[in-house]
Structure 1
């Protein structure tokens, strides 16, 4: 399989495609029966198919919310899976809107009254009204995502997912009594509702690990590294992965019992599970004062940051801000895998004071064969350029590239790399926006 295909398509995509097409293929004979190749026939056919595809996408979006550790890698990591999840949810909503409009338009040649009656029947036809309730729940859920309402609050956004769950239930109550393919819809319903029940009811107790805070080290103002010791079974993970972190410290002014994604900064073989956290919001600011001896719950691991598309190539690591943490994990892990790494890390910071992991990384670079570390300071050098990369890493365009940092930095670096001739298939990055 070529690098281009491996970079863009993942094994899980095939599974999603099969689940998406299954209800369409099963329903097609019924939908085509009595089809007449005229305007009314085409509108009715398209209206039915958009309804089937729209519901299938909504159910698949619900299934993808299960967030099982390790299985996200089938889809290229949780960050990519969440992008697909959001696309399916929104596309399903749009298709359902077309479903309603097309079926109404199909009745217009008869009369306006017939069109209205098709979509607004008597209340006794409760299956149709269940469809309207599903659509209303989707409007409530998706409405705040539009820029008109401003930036979404993370926890409020997670709470709004209740309406997406209700939309799935009402949509099934609409489809199952009307469609003849009940086995297919029940099959997908079990997967969708099972995923929702696991995520909202079972995983908080069955899918998490309890840890004790043993150290909170301030790296610089507004950045801490927290060391955790398991109070039972420990979570197994790989370098570069992330977890959901839920502090239980009752003294916290914000963020208590709230889960947020953070990248693991320790190596898999370290004594403690460590995570670097920068004060970027109310919860992450409060976590800077997390009490030693308090408990936290962690869930994971997730992600596939160090996925190799072309494993024969050397690696180039580009990190800025708190985006240094997956590379700290990778560098620490390199101590245990001597001779198995060939990577050059460029640590991008405003100045030396903000390069809070630099001393340790330079020491690791001196100890570990195959690991090189080069700092770059924005206030001295300006934005990172291809010339700077070439000066310190002559073959940077031939390497497989991993980057993590603020969105503006990542966008700039991608433009620099692409302009230097690096194919986008060799550029890896990960973002946690509303993960």
Structure 2
């Protein structure tokens, strides 16, 4: 492990980033997350109240009524959660900033699997309830539903689409899919929701029991659909057309990474902060429809945006072939890994591999006094230290510490340390490098297992969980 010499004079090869005056980041209110969570629970409580008001409790008296009524309740909650899923997929700015990519992904997964399980409970319970009062039996009742009830054929098709989405969301299935394939399949969630829900609007008791219930459900549908149209289609298209982005520079960062700079006369209109990411689409021929998420590796200056990507797949490897002048479409900015979530004066930025890039941008923009900020950069070798020279120069210019932790990982142990530090625990090593780490905000970005180890070390050193900020890009 080595520490950049802060006493030395600034390198003559100082980067443009180091000389740039930092902007003051926009703060994200902490109550946004609490308010959005309360809104979610409020929707579920109101759905339950509508079920009670529609006679859901009184219908529990008979065996048939018990299964039918609980089936209706599970269907209502599943429908509400599915619409919440659609809303979360819409990347509404306030929700996205409240939860961040990491938190939003966990919430999305929890809500999705809960909705899916409740959907199957709804199908089984409703069918059992109707079958208990019918001579047709379970399978006959199920066939009767599909063939004779309005909207049920659409619901079957929608259920099939949702099953495909959920199956490919299981961890083992995701590991076998390319990101582009997984993303395309995941878009079928919109189709599944669009096909699975209308039958309830046409035949569902709680949907039709009162004008209040009808207005509530139609409003919920309209909000979910409107959010997708506005924030996944309209807003990205408007921002891209307004910014008029084109590729202005492409340069290699060693053999395994590329830095791309895009510029446009409307860049200053983009409400982006250092550390956030965009989904980028380069209109350079085949494959332009595939978006790729890359974080900014330099603080935005109002004239250009810059990101650095490792060659981890077909999309990132193709960046080397981009031509100057290539038009660019963007979605975003997204992510909560930026200076606006800072809560303490002292800050520790820990990045591994290509994960150092958003932290380099944050270092550039972060308001600080000498000694406030420490950067720990982890790499398996000198060649794996992306942007290390720029970060070193930037750290010297801004009075920060730049610590390089270099070497191959410890085998058989989940750790953020290299093999030569295997005699230390993760927390001991972190305390040696940053003795007062418990007084810092900690920003983490890197491979998921490395981030988990670094996060555990920070917690063990006394950093409260609310002062640890992460961003995960694993799909």
TM-score by length of 2: 0.80
Structure 1 position 104 matched with structure 2 position 134: no
Aligned equivalent of 1:84: 107
**Residues 129 and 174 in structure 1, CA contact (< 8 A), matched pair in contact too:** no
- Distance in 2 (CA, whole Å) between partners of 1:90 and 1:376 is 39
- Residue 253 of structure 2 aligns to a residue whose secondary structure is strand
C-alpha distance after superposition, 1:188-229 (max 9, x if no partner): 111222234346654553343431222112121111211111
TM-score by length of 1: 0.87
Shift of 1:361: 1.8
Aligned equivalent of 2:165: 141
Aligned equivalent of 1:247: 282
- Residue 197 of structure 2 aligns to a residue whose secondary structure is helix
Structure 1 position 24 matched with structure 2 position 65: no
- Distance in 2 (CA, whole Å) between partners of 1:404 and 1:340 is 23
Structure 1 position 330 matched with structure 2 position 362: yes
Structure 1 position 171 matched with structure 2 position 196: yes
- Residue 77 of structure 1 aligns to a residue whose secondary structure is helix
C-alpha distance after superposition, 1:136-172 (max 9, x if no partner): 2212332333335852222222322443222222233
Task: For CA contacts below 8 A with separation 6 or more, give which structure has more relative contact order.
Answer: 2
2:349 pairs, out of 288, 307, 317, with 317
Structure 1 position 127 matched with structure 2 position 178: no
Structure 1 position 402 matched with structure 2 position 443: yes
Aligned equivalent of 2:428: 387
Aligned equivalent of 2:26: none
Q: Which moved more, 1:141-150 or 1:11-20?
A: 141-150
| TM-aligned CA distance change 1:99 to 1:70, over 3 Å | closer
Paired positions, count: 423
Aligned equivalent of 2:256: 222
- Residue 298 of structure 2 aligns to a residue whose secondary structure is coil
- Residue 237 of structure 2 aligns to a residue whose secondary structure is helix
1:351 pairs, out of 378, 381, 393, with 381
- Distance in 2 (CA, whole Å) between partners of 1:9 and 1:417 is 23
- Residue 265 of structure 1 aligns to a residue whose secondary structure is coil
**Residues 145 and 152 in structure 1, CA contact (< 8 A), matched pair in contact too:** no
**Residues 263 and 304 in structure 2, CA contact (< 8 A), matched pair in contact too:** yes
| TM-aligned CA distance change 1:134 to 1:318, over 3 Å | same
Shift of 1:338: 5.0
Gapped runs of 5+ residues in structure 2?
1-29, 409-417
C-alpha distance after superposition, 1:256-284 (max 9, x if no partner): 33211111112133642111111110100
- Distance in 1 (CA, whole Å) between partners of 2:321 and 2:36 is 40
**Residues 258 and 310 in structure 2, CA contact (< 8 A), matched pair in contact too:** yes
- Alpha-carbon RMSD across the aligned residues, in angstroms, is 2.9
Shift of 1:39: 4.2
Q: Which moved more, 1:297-306 or 1:90-99?
A: 297-306
**Residues 430 and 457 in structure 2, CA contact (< 8 A), matched pair in contact too:** no
- Distance in 1 (CA, whole Å) between partners of 2:166 and 2:181 is 12
| TM-aligned CA distance change 1:174 to 1:223, over 3 Å | same
| TM-aligned CA distance change 1:7 to 1:409, over 3 Å | farther
- Distance in 2 (CA, whole Å) between partners of 1:270 and 1:421 is 38
Shift of 1:399: 1.9
